[in-house]
Structure 1
Amino acid sequence: MTQGQGRAWIRRILVVGAMLLTLAFLAEVGTAATAEYRLSRELRAAAGLADDPEVTVGGFPYLTSGGRHSKLTIAVPAEIDGRNARLEAEFADVTIPGGLLPTFTPDTPIRAGHVESRVRLDQKTVGRYMDIVDLQVHTPAPKRPGAGSPADGYVKASKGIVLTGTVPLPTSADPKRTVLISVAADFSAIGDAIAVRATGIYTGPEDHAKADLLPGEEPTVLARFTHTLPAMALPFGVRPTGARGENADVVLLGEADGVTVTPGAFHRSLP
């Protein structure tokens, strides 16, 4: 074999190898996408949703997973109590029966070592619940170098959330008086509801609105920013364990270990 022929064989081997890798990659992606699509469609049908949920099966490679995956995430816009929300569930150490291309039914068991279930509300929706139409929610980043960068994703906290909005403070001289002001607030879960408790007028370093209050008006302002939202059902019936701010969102969440859920239980209204 001449040197030129040897090089030609090497090129053929490389081409064949690249083709096999491409086929394997396409099979990997296609199989995982089919499983995600099937679960998404079943979740939509079972919960009567207007949109297909975003479903992502984590872990690589899918083709040799045997139905066991490191992560499964589900998210979909929904309407709760006539207002916009986002339903989310994030599973770890997941087992899905049915092999590479499982067919889901309302009763298909999905087992997981851990689940975090969430109802996410944007600041506009929370403002409507609280009757503060221009409400802004700001979750301060932790006090450490580089905190709050895009690499951190959502900035999460339950205490010291900055709420800014316009509230009425009428006086005899000005019955229509309003003020734009910021308060610090804590979030918690009371039963199935998000509780917002204003703890003081905010004067810290984060962006905020200042206002000149008259003597005795601070309690009135704090009361306007203190509110318990209506009860909400978390995906898969997980019981709430807390509430927090995540960037400009307000989240009701619940966590549980060693769970088995079914698509039919993705979202049901509270009794």
Structure 2
Amino acid sequence: MRKLIAGLALLLGLAVLVDFGSAAYAEYRISRELRKGAELDADPEVTISGFSFLTQVADGSYRDIAIRAQGVRSDVVGEVTIEADLRGVHAPYSALVDGELTSLPVDVLEGRVLVGATELGRFLGIPDLEVSAPPASRSDGTGGSGGSGPTTAGGVVLTGTVPVGPIETTVSVQADLVLADGDVHIVASDFYFGPEGQADFSIPDPLEPVVLGLFTRTIDPEQLPFGVVPTEVYAEGSQIVVEGIGEDVTITLDEVQA
């Protein structure tokens, strides 16, 4: 009986190793095809979730495939991070591992573009730009990163050194993040003196609109990875995040580029 139990445990261990090994190889092949199809500089991270993987292979349906690519070139704001969560992916295993993967039917696709402070600063022409989200203060729970709803108006503090008349000084502004007609509008609405700001300054009244305008721009995100249309924009840590959700879509590998 002990030998039988030991034998079964060994077989189970081997089955688990084969399962994880097969999943790892599929992740590697998908990553390579994504890099090739989208002409990326490095292999993106690919994670196939759910056990057992071989059961999903038999069904030709995968519960969750997560993709993350850093340093993706964008024509709009330079290098960004791309994240996509594919839930309900339908494809034969041979297509995943044999280099035949050109398109994938997906039940639900969540895509995100993350723009860091450095790239956003270059876009605004403020090299030392810092991005932070103030604590929630609005009664409806939607202001700031601490609220329960999406971060929009008043959801981000921008700090950077800009010209104020004949001198340059570091100022902080409170900006609204608004998504309208597929564009992300960063609108500096007021100067900020709260704990997230790092500036102690005084702006002459005639110069206030000019200085606020330096922090105000519109970003055309085009589309999110795999053609997902943007539906939300918010601040997350020191990044601006644009995301969207698509249902019953078919993606192609060269659409990971923002």
Q: Give the match for residue 6 of structure 1.
A: none
Match of 2:234 in 1: 244
- Between 1:32-41 and 1:185-194, the stretch displaced more is 185-194
SS in 2 for 1:158: coil
Classify the secondary structure of the residue corresponding to 1:46.
Answer: helix
**How far apart are the structure 2 equivalents of 1:105 and 1:38?**
10
Cα drift, residue 205 of structure 1: 4.2
The residue number in structure 2 matching 1:63 is: 54
Matched, 1:131 2:121: no
RMSD over aligned Cα, in angstroms? 2.8
Q: Which moved more, 1:207-216 or 1:43-52?
A: 207-216
Task: Please report how far the alpha carbon of residue 96 of structure 1 lies from its aligned counterpart in structure 2 after TM superposition.
Answer: 2.7
Aligned partners of 1:191 and 1:240 also within 8 Å: no
* Structure 1: stretches of 5+ with no match in the other structure: 1-8, 150-154
Are 2:65 and 1:72 aligned? Answer: yes
How far apart, CA to CA, are the structure 1 residues paired with 2:151 and 2:172?
17
Which has the greater radius of gyration? 1
Residue 178 of structure 2, aligned match among 185, 188, 202: 188
- Whether the 8 Å CA contact 1:85–1:122 is kept in 2: the answer is yes
Deviation at 1:113, TM superposition (A): 2.4
**TM-score, normalised via structure 1 length:** 0.79
Determine the C-alpha separation between the residues in 2 that align with 1:130 and 1:217. 18
Instruction: Identify which of 9, 12, 15 aligns with 1:24.
Output: 15
- Tell me, what secondary structure is at the counterpart of 2:230? coil
| Contact persistence 1:135–1:164 (CA under 8 A) | yes
The percent identity for this pair of structures is: 34
Match of 2:105 in 1: 111
Show the 5 A alignment for 1:122-201.
122-140=116-134, 142=136, 157-159=151-153, 160-170=155-165, 175=166, 177-191=167-181, 193-201=183-191
Shift of 1:47: 1.2
Which amino acid is the alignment partner of residue 122 of structure 2?
A: R
Shift of 1:44: 1.2
> TM-score, normalising length from structure 2?
0.82
The answer for unaligned runs of 5 or more in structure 2 is: none
Instruction: Report the CA distance shift for 1:79/1:47 in structure 2 as closer, same or farther (over 3 A).
Output: same
**1:19-73 Cα shifts (integer Å, max 9, x gaps):** 2232122112111111111111111111111111111112222121223233221
What number of residue pairs does the alignment pair up?
A: 245
Answer whether contact 2:172 2:197 (CA < 8 A) is retained.
no
Three-state SS of the structure 2 residue aligned to 1:236 is helix
Q: Which one-letter code corresponds to 1:88 in the other structure?
A: E
**Kept in 1: contact 2:145–2:235 (CA 8 A):** no
CA shift, 1:233, in A, is 4.0
